[in-house]
Amino acid sequence: MIFKLHKIPDRFIFRVIFLLIILWNLKYLFLLVQIPFTMLFVDYTGQNIFYSQVKDIKTAVKNIEDFQDEGKIGFVSDTAQNSVFDLEPSIRNFYIAQYAIVPSVLKNDKLENYLIGAYENKPEKVEIPEGFRMYKKINDKTYIFKRIEE
């Protein structure tokens, strides 16, 4: 028995492989169509609030000469000092302020020369901690206080 081997042209093999690759990738085509529409319906409000708050604090702190020299900055809020880390909004305010003042360290106390006050509920009248004065209003909910020098 003699078998004849037929030579298959390279062009045909290339076209078959190319067709298989295209068919394999067509199953991912719907992802390319889906991407622009998913971006339209995503709510970026939380991220925008975060970045605008960080930007406001960074801009305000940049203009204070000895702020970064302190190394440690205090933190006050409308939440009780011992429960700042128990409530989500106060945790968020604390870490936003910490992120904005890096490399300084934010401490949850009133022992430092500067305090950042972050109030979740917009206060009608800001409660200034005893021994401090309002140094700068960053926005409606965030303030910088400086210790009164005696």
Using the Cα atoms of residue 104, residue 74, residue 56 and residue 63 in order, give the sign of their dihedral: negative
DSSP-derived 3-state class of residue 72: strand
Comparing CA positions, the residue from 75, 57, 81, 60 lying closest to residue 114 is: 75
pLDDT at 115: 92
| Confidence at residue 92, expressed as pLDDT on a 0 to 100 scale | 87
Reading the block at residue 55, the tokens are 């930007």
pLDDT, one tens digit for every residue, the chain (150 residues): 666 666 777 888 888 888 888 877 777 777 777 777 777 777 777 778 888 989 999 999 888 888 877 788 999 988 777 777 777 888 888 899 999 998 889 998 888 899 999 888 776 778 888 899 999 999 888 999 999 876
Residue 103, judged by CB atoms within 10 A of its CB (0-12, 13-18, 19+), counts as: exposed
> Structure pTM?
0.66
